[in-house]
Amino acid sequence: MKIGLDAIAFSTSKYFLKLSELAAHRGVDYAKYCVGIGQKEMSVFPPKEDIITLAVSAAEKVVKQTDAEKIDMLIFATESSVDLSKSAGIYVHRFLKLKNECCVFDVKQACYSMTAALRIAKNHVQCNPHSKVLVVGSDIVKYSPGSSGEATQGGSAVAAIVSADPRIMEIENFSGIYTSDVMDFWRPINCNEALFDGKLSAYNYLKSLGICFDQYMQKSRLTLHKIDAACFHAPFCKMAQKAGRQIFAEEYAHKNVDDSLIYNSLIGNSCSSSLFLCLISLLDNCAKNLSGKRVGLFSYGSGSVAEYFSGIISDSYRDMLTPRENASALKNREAVSFETYEYFCSNPAPTLNQKYETSGAVYLEKIENYQRIYKNLEENFS
């Protein structure tokens, strides 16, 4: 039985900061950002938007493309969780009006978590071939203002339906995995911003990639030219390009890695969903017909767990995608000033008179007695 991605979509903020603006205020040469790390813009998030509102707006798009009655599992992958106990997925379940006979939970392992969620989803469908699983990765990435990580912030949610006979990509059964205890990036409880050792993280990313890829090649018995296109977890685009060159060397240009980075260069790092945003960018922007082609995927979550795996693109994949809508959603975002970015960074409480909108109809109205109160503009219930 073929199991994999039957629908996939993303959402991000309606607001972004140009990295030229950030560079000017931080006294950094803009070339460091656009050439050195490969980023042009980053999504920034108003007080009413969080990982849950983002996740709902991405998930709505894929649930419309499926028989929602068959969704009996929802897995929410994140490292920017808003609660240590209650699953963020429960809010998504409620706003999408999914049936109650549905298993909902969150998973965490830094940026690897959405890959972990897909593994669980695939196994669930293997045991229950008529089931559909909604997997959402949603993260808003924050580093301390003025730190070297600041220009790599960003955020998005990617939602996918995992099912049998997938219309976008079958996930193959072999993969290479590598886990090692490394303090390269972490976010202690009560810290709003992630802490990191940038050089160690880049070193461990590339080391893990080498090990996972060798293991993948041994298990799959494939040769390099059997991989037609490739996506790499993109904390910033240059990292993914370095990864692509490490694996494919002079074959790099034929693997369409740069097509996979178009959205990330405008959105920034979105941790759990970053790799799958790369996949959407590749499928939307690659001029080649990828039907029947193999896409290699490298997932890296600091701390650290890494996996190299692959998928075979379905014949119908183009019918399931919305490249024009995705391009116009990004084009229609509003650029904010550096001062507005600083205001967003100060974590202001959401209030009714704030003019900034969320990516979809659901917004965080307030936090009262430590409870997050959400509203749906279309339904007016909390």
Q: How far is the CB of 184 from ligand CAA (least distance, A)?
A: 6
Asked if residue 323 lies in contact with residue 183, where contact means CB atoms within 8 angstroms, the answer is no
Helical (H) or strand (E) element with 141: strand 132-141
- Angle between helices 323-331 and 274-285 in degrees, nearest 10: 120
Piece of the chain touching ligand CAA by CB under 6 A; list 25-33, 47-55, 90-98, 258-266? 25-33
Give the count of residues interacting with ligand CAA (CB under 6 A): 25
Query: Using the rule CB under 6 A, is 185 a contact of ligand CAA?
Result: yes
Q: Does 233 bind ligand CAA (CB under 6 A)?
A: yes
Lay out the site mask for ligand CAA across 309-348 (x = CB under 6 A, - = otherwise). Answer: ----------------------------------------
User: Whole-angstrom Cα distance, residue 219 to residue 139?
Assistant: 32
Binding to ligand CAA (CB under 6 A) within 87-146 occurs at 111
Interface region with ligand CAA, contact rule CB under 6 A, candidates 14-22, 62-70, 200-208, 308-316: 200-208
DSSP 3-state of 381:
coil
Alpha helices, H only, 249-300 = 257-260, 262-267, 274-285
CA 17 to chain centre: 19
Candidate ranges 9-17, 26-34, 214-222, 279-287; the one touching ligand CAA (CB under 6 A): 26-34
Whole-number Cα distances in Å, 62 to 6, 101, 163: 9, 19, 12
Q: Give me the least distance between CB of 365 and ligand CAA, in Å please.
A: 30
**In the 8-state DSSP scheme, what is residue 2?**
-
Min dist CB 374 to ligand CAA, Å, is 27
Beta strand 71-77 with 103-107: parallel, antiparallel or unpaired?
A: parallel
Among the listed residues 37, 6, 9, 8, the one whose alpha carbon sits nearest the alpha carbon of residue 23: 37
Kindly state whether residue 24 participates in binding ligand CAA, applying the rule CB under 6 A: no
Is 130 among the catalytic positions? no
For residue 230, the tally of other CB atoms under 10 A from its CB is 26
Q: Name the minimum Å distance from CB 205 to ligand CAA.
A: 4
Candidates 25, 36, 102, 365; binder of ligand CAA (CB under 6 A) is 36
Residues with Cβ within 8 Å of residue 59, at least 6 apart in sequence: 92, 96, 134, 136, 157, 159
Give the residue with the Cβ less far from ligand CAA, 148 or 246. Answer: 148
The pattern of x and - marking residues 272 through 311 that bind ligand CAA according to CB under 6 A reads ----------------------------x-x---------
**Among 49, 60, 79, 150, the one annotated catalytic:** 79
Has 124 been annotated as catalytic? Answer: no
Angle formed by the axes of helices 198-220 and 237-248, nearest 10°: 40
Positions that interact with ligand CAA (CB under 6 A):
29, 31-32, 35-37, 111, 148-149, 152, 184-185, 196, 198, 201-202, 205, 233, 235-236, 239, 269, 271, 300, 302
* Catalytic residue annotation: 79, 111, 233
